[in-house]
Amino acid sequence: MTSLRLKPATRTQLQRAQKLHRREQRTRHEQFLVEGPQAVREILRFAPELVRDLYVAEGAFERYPEIREESAVSMVWTHIVEDDALRDLSGDSQGFVVVADLPKQQGLAEILSEAPLAIAAVGAADPGNVGTIIRSADAAGAAAVLLTKGCAEATAPKVVRSTVGSLFHVPVATNLDLDEVIAQAHTAGMQVLAAEGSGEWDLPALVQAAYGAGVTGGPNLARPTLWVVGNEAHGFDGADISRVDAKVSIPLYGNAESLNVSVAASICLYTTAMVQKSAE
């Protein structure tokens, strides 16, 4: 069995790590927290270069031997701490917390180059929704998640937990300008579609057209596509989406007034991914 890189945790280390629950401390130190066994396992597997310290509750490696192996192989500094100390650091750790460096953000041109599918969120302020969008984008095989100014911080603890490790699978760019996002997507050869309840195109009709069952003359979902979704409560209010190629609606068959933004994003991503995969 590969040996761990063990080192006792100091009180100062733990106190500093605990402060990373606050945004100003994350910005100041350029670090963030990764909590819970699944997210910790994924950062160790896919982005070990970001890991500064791994804090593990006594006995936790016995429950998750694969995390022990990943931490040993990655040669990250590992600190075994008492349960009370870890609970003080995180109430959502389930025995594992990582202090990680903030990832360096790629440029839009690099992210969108040859991307078949991506999603941009405009003003998505709820951390759970942002985390779920990242998770759905990962599962659908999207190349990127783009968060414009006003969205929840991608490395906020609740966002990281909601991604359940997907944050370390798909590039996420933050604090972006929507006009720049749309312009760069067009430069990369992507069509830009806005998911909007009053859209002139109906998503099921576009699916039928993609499979040759109807003719709409509308967007072709088999093409490289960037979806744009709006704020949880106000949609695209205050955002200029005049440069998108089309606005597409998701029909509501029941009595709900609208869909949660992360649900709408998931539907758009998966629908497009299935069409694109069928066209390969």
Contacts of 226 (CB under 8 A, 6+ apart): 112, 115, 117, 118, 119, 120, 146, 181, 182, 185, 190, 191, 192, 193
Cβ distance 198 to 192 under 8 Å? no
Q: Do 41 and 76 reside in the same domain of the chain?
A: yes
Cβ distance 160 to 33 under 8 Å? yes
Q: Do 230 and 112 reside in the same domain of the chain?
A: yes
**Which residue, 56, 84, 101, sits at the end of a domain?**
101
Name the residue among 149, 146, 163 with its Cα closest to residue 228: 146
Whichever domain contains 272, its CATH number is 3.40.1280.10
Q: Do 121 and 92 reside in the same domain of the chain?
A: no
Residue 214: predicted pLDDT: 66
Whichever domain contains 84, its CATH number is 3.30.1330.30
Residue 109, judged by CB atoms within 10 A of its CB (0-12, 13-18, 19+), counts as exposed
Q: Do 14 and 67 reside in the same domain of the chain?
A: yes
Residue 176: predicted pLDDT: 96
Residue 138: predicted pLDDT: 98
Q: Do 71 and 171 reside in the same domain of the chain?
A: no
**Which residue, 45, 75, 101, sits at the end of a domain?**
101
**Which residue, 76, 101, 126, sits at the end of a domain?**
101
Domain that holds residue 137: 108-279
Q: Do 118 and 230 reside in the same domain of the chain?
A: yes
- pTM listed for this prediction: 0.93
Q: Do 194 and 274 reside in the same domain of the chain?
A: yes
pLDDT tens per residue across span 28-54: 999 999 999 999 999 999 999 999 999
Which of the residues in the chain have pLDDT under 70?
1, 214-216, 232-233
Q: Do 70 and 204 reside in the same domain of the chain?
A: no
Give the three-class secondary structure for 85: helix
Q: Do 36 and 92 reside in the same domain of the chain?
A: yes
Q: Do 17 and 152 reside in the same domain of the chain?
A: no
Residue 45: predicted pLDDT: 97
